[in-house]
Homo-oligomer: A and B are copies of this chain.
Amino acid sequence: MQSARNRATVDTVALRDYLHDGRNLWEQRCSIISILMKEPAFNTPGKEFKSRSERFKDGLAKTKRLYELVDEHGWTTMHVTFAVSAMGETLPINLHNVAFEPVLLSQASKELLEQYSDLIIQRGILGCYLQTELGHGTNVAALETTATYIPETREFDIHSPTLTSSKWWVGALGKTATHGVVQAKLILPDGTDVGPHLFFVQLRSLENHRLLPGVITGDIGPKAFGGYACVDNGFARFDHVRIPRWHMLSKFAQVTDDGKYVKPPHAKVSYGGMLYIRAGMVTNAGWSTAKAITIAIRYASVRRQGSKGPDGLELPVISYPSVHVRLLPILARAYVFIELGRATTRAFMEMSERLARGDASLLAELHAMTSGLKVLCSTTSVQDLESARRSMGGHGYSAFSGIAKLYADLVPSVTYVLNLNLPSLNEPHPSCSSYEGENYVLDQQVVRAALRTFTTLISCAKTQSQDKLNELADSLPPSSIYLKRLLPGPDKRPSEPPVLSEASWADPGVLISLLEWRAALLVHEVAQTTDALEATIYQRVSKAVTEAFVAGRVGEMLVLLNEREIGPKDKEVVKRVYILYLLTTIESSLTDFLSFGLLRLPLRDPSSSGSLSRDPTRGLRLAIARLCEDLLPEAIGLTDAFGFTDWELDRYSVSRFIMLMLMAMLSALGVYDGQVYKTLWERAQTEPLNQTEVPDGYEEYIGPMLRRGQRLARGAKL
């Protein structure tokens, strides 16, 4: 490992500061972690062996201690975020922090805030966000829970009329939350249903945590792969629960005392929360990928197998092309997603500021952008985690390898939708529609937005002057810039895709242009299709559009990189990492590039003339292989730059596992053998099954089974 580390030339400190957005933030993060490391609540061993009930309780212990630490050290919200992310465990309190609190603070009336905002901010009450129902996903228009206004008592009657209206999947609802924001159809006294609105409902007594009358909740049971073990995703039914009128979140829409509905000033003002969560998902995808690839690259640098190298030892597996050509692109995606998450959060902040001033102009753009990013980042990072785990071969299937737990916690990001249900964006295309509950819904919305912009642009190209068209083209938001490729240039000549040479593969400008062309041509293809659509087209188009958008952002990252305090050699390495991202993005959708003739190469291999034609994708693939080989010596340095402490990785028992592997290798050379053996022995002893030499079940099952067989074998011999 040390020799792999020495081979890297990059300045890991400078890169670390770059990835963490500056030295100051990095140091604050370190100070938080150094405190957590010493806390018993954050150092509970044997997580892999615990039941879910035990894990849930451990999570509560962490949460309690976390807020004690806030008091002791005066931590800010940002510090809490650092701490939560470093402990690597999803806790029920996260739902309070990312959904309940922001929704309430941004949408509650003055009176409600007057009474509750301090309790919410200080977590004197714990909240959850009740949207999904047993029979209904994020298509909030179909929700069945009702909130009927009773003018006589100035109350809402919250009710679950059917089993399918049971709230389901709600994080922290099962056992933890005292209050919740309930999404329910608002029914006026005259019976009019004015659609889903949000209501603040107390669920449990603050005296003894028992359920309030009419509220039935519980935990919905364990999750796939053992994911989200600490979170009490719950169900709830409401049996005519009454809440005061002012408990409706009525900053925008409201109901008057006598039951008149007052419309919100703008239909879209209440959708900021979901966008905030989506923006966070990009960042989370980046750092989850970073953690998994740190584990996988370290393991692959230490694990030796197969042919002998010049040092007489078997080669580290990372030196095999089949291994590093999988791992380095994952590393590149982690680098891109971390920066992308930062850019998306910035865009969200700007939109929020405008929205607060009643300006919703950026909402549609941010909606389309984050829909696509949510799909792309969740799908890609989940897949990358599993690829990283599998690259570790047999040992990757051990729970101690750590990546499986990351996967179990990240994989629901693919199937929860965070849909906004903006009706104008949601009409399904007749032959190609999807249902909510997965990423496919969001794909639709990306395509719809793209088609709208495309249509505007084309009709403008037909009817308006070139100047007008140029103006329109220049005003395209970042998510639509790729469509410019279809327009004639300022010189009125039609644009054309780049002609490729070997040098193209090292030129980010060409790669970005290719990705934009592919998106533009696919949108054009859908737009001109008036008959049947093939069933996967929305997925393809959405991916293409989003990848074109991200390519544009990578272009920006390359510009911004020049302004950062990093040495020129390091900039060159990061630049190559970004180029690897672009190359492998193209590789993963070669079908599109070939279909639209975007890989036309001027050069032909002379040896193949007359013979069967050579593979046109070879140039790109070779460029990837070479770039990976090129970056290989920097692999450990580039992962070190993520800055994960041993403590963070230890939480997954990983660095210890890697340490063991490393020492095991050394032990083959006769070094440190005694100590390795002792450490490994200790680790194995923690497995509960190893607490006895003869397992529980021997007397009852194994023994009788063996004696039966021995009896039969004797009989068979007679």
Looking across the interface, which residue of chain B has its beta carbon closest to that of A434?
Answer: B322
As a 0/1 sequence over residues 695 to 711 of chain A, the CB contacts with chain B under 8 angstroms (1 = contact) are 11110111111111111
What's the Cα separation between A717 and B163 when bound, in Å?
Answer: 42
In the assembled complex, the Cα of A434 lies from the Cα of B391 at a distance in Å of: 11
A198-233 CB contacts (< 8 Å) to partner B: 206, 208-211, 218-227, 232
Contact A321 B432 (CB under 8 A): yes
Oligomeric state, in copies: 2
Q: Does A245 contact B (CB under 8 A)?
A: no
Q: Which residues of B contact A608 (CB under 8 A)?
A: 528
Chain A 615-631 per-residue mask, 1 if CB under 8 angstroms from chain B, else 0: 11110011011101000
CB distance from A137 to the nearest CB of B (A): 6
Known contacts A702-B209, A713-B119; is-contact A235 B684 (Cβ 8 Å):
yes
Taking CB atoms, residues of chain B closer than 8 Å to A617 are 591, 595
From 589 to 632 in chain A, residues with beta carbon under 8 angstroms from any chain B beta carbon are 590-591, 594-597, 607-608, 611-618, 621-622, 624-626, 628
The 8 A CB mask of A418-437 against B (1 = contact, 0 = none) is 00000000001001111111
Give bound CA distance, A583 to B189, whole Å.
Answer: 57
A684–B220 CB distance below 8 A = yes
Out of B48, B118, B685, B713, which one reaches A716, CB within 8 Å? Answer: B118
Nearest CB on B from A55, distance (A): 11
A615 pairs with B594, CB closer than 8 A = no
Interface size class on chain A is 35 or more
Please determine whether A415 and B393 come into contact, CB atoms closer than 8 angstroms. yes
- Does A137 lie within 8 Å of B394, measured CB to CB? yes
Write out the residue numbers on chain B whose beta carbons fall within 8 Å of the beta carbon of A208: 694
Whether, in the assembled complex, A132 has its beta carbon less than 8 Å from a beta carbon of chain B, the answer is yes
* A408 lies within 8 A of B225 (CB): yes
Contact flag A689-B595 (CB < 8 Å), given A64-B701, A125-B706: no
Given contacts A534-B625, A596-B613, contact A209 B174 (CB under 8 A): no
- Check B436–A134 contact: CB distance below 8 A: no
Contacts A225-B226, A397-B224, A521-B612 given; indicate if A390 touches B404 (C-beta within 8 A). no
A555 CB to closest chain B CB (Å) equals 24
Kindly list chain B residues whose C-beta atoms are within 8 Å of the C-beta of A712. Answer: 118, 122, 124
Q: Are B428 and A307 in contact (CB under 8 A)?
A: yes
Distance, CA A428 to CA B307, complexed state (A) = 9
Contact yes or no, B396 A415, CB < 8 A: yes
Task: Mark interface residues in A430-448 (1 if CB within 8 Å of B CB, else 0).
Answer: 0111111110100000000
Q: Does A361 contact B (CB under 8 A)?
A: no
Give the docked Cα–Cα distance between A661 and B61 (Å). Answer: 36
Query: Once the chains bind, are B615 and A436 in contact (CB under 8 Å)?
Result: no
Give A268 Cβ to nearest chain B Cβ, in Å: 22
**B residues less than 8 Å from A390 (CB atoms):** 414-415, 438
* Nearest 10 interchain pairs by C-beta: A393-B437, A124-B709, A224-B404, A534-B621, A124-B710, A118-B713, A325-B535, A321-B535, A594-B594, A60-B701
Selected A-B contacts with CB under 8 Å, 7 pairs:
A68-B708, A122-B713, A163-B667, A221-B686, A225-B408, A317-B435, A393-B438
